[in-house]
């Protein structure tokens, strides 16, 4: 099943081991929960500090390919809601 979420800004848990896999939970403010599974802890850490890091900070529009149990098989970032650097600087400086 594929779904598109317009404002995907998850809180991401630290990777944890379950059976012979490393899992990450993506928790949305609306209470929805998704899971990503990896074969090694390094793959899981790369996901958390790579693509998922930007989504946690800025949010974005994503397309998720899911299988049963809200397990994400593929995540495609369609749009990142990253503000221009000028806006970030103005917010930081209070101007």
Cα distances (angstroms) measured from residue 2 to each of 25, 44, 70, 87: 18, 22, 11, 34
Total domains, the chain: 1
Using a cut of 0.85, tell me whether the model's pTM lies above it: no
pLDDT value at position 85? Answer: 80
| Torsion angle in degrees (nearest 10) through CA of 61, 65, 68, 73 | -110
What tens-digit pLDDT sequence spans the chain (95 residues)? Answer: 999 999 999 999 999 999 899 999 999 999 999 999 999 999 999 988 888 998 998 899 999 999 999 999 999 999 998 888 887 788 778 75
From 1, 64, 5, select the one nearest 29 (Cα to Cα). Answer: 5
- pLDDT recorded at residue 64: 96
pLDDT at 95: 57
**Residue 64 β-bridge partners:** 3, 75
Domain assignment of residue 68, given as a range: 2-93
pLDDT, residue 72, reads 96
């Amino acid at each position: 099943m594929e779904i598109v979420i317009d404002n995907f800004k998850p809180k991401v848990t630290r990777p944890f081991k379950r059976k012979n896999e490393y899992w990450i939970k993506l928790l949305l403010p609306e209470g929805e929960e998704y899971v990503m599974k990896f074969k090694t802890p390094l793959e899981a850490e790369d996901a958390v500090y790579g693509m998922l890091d930007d989504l946690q900070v800025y949010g974005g529009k994503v397309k998720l390919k899911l299988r049963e149990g809200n397990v994400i098989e593929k995540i495609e970032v369609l749009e990142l809601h990253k503000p221009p650097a000028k806006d970030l600087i103005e917010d930081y400086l209070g101007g």
